[in-house]
């Protein structure tokens, strides 16, 4: 399985982010609290937002 890194700053994979969302982290901030993703340079935040919106479907 290919692990795609969403957050380069903390090497957080898409799967880790999806898991956090499924466990109740439904905002970019909450995902950051749980996984650190998005809490460095912030460059991946728009991608995190997209993933949240995908998971809400
Ligand atoms: S790439 Fe995610 S905070 Fe920098």
3-56 pLDDT per residue, tens: 899 999 999 999 999 999 999 999 999 999 999 999 999 999 999 999 999 999
Q: Which of 40, 48, 49, 51 has the most ligand 1 atoms within 8 A of CB, as the residue to mutate?
A: 40
Q: Spell out the domain ranges in the chain.
A: 5-56
**41 vs 2, higher pLDDT:** 41
User: For 2-38, b where at least 16 C-beta lie within 10 A, e where not — what string?
Assistant: eeeebbeebebbbebbbebbeeebeebeebbebbebb
Residues 6 or more apart in contact with residue 36 via CB below 8 angstroms: 7, 9, 10, 12
Our answer on whether the CB atom of 46 is closer than 6 Å to any ligand 1 atom is no
In CATH terms, is domain 5-56 a member of 1.10.10.1100? Answer: yes
How many angstroms is it from 38 CA to the middle of ligand 1? 5
Q: Which of 41, 46, 48 has the most ligand 1 atoms within 8 A of CB, as the residue to mutate?
A: 41
């Amino acid at each position: 399985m290919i692990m795609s890194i969403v957050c380069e700053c903390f090497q957080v994979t898409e799967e880790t982010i999806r898991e956090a969302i499924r466990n109740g982290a439904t905002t970019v901030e909450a995902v950051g609290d749980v996984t650190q993703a998005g809490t460095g340079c912030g460059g991946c935040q728009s991608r995190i937002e997209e993933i949240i919106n995908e998971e809400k479907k």
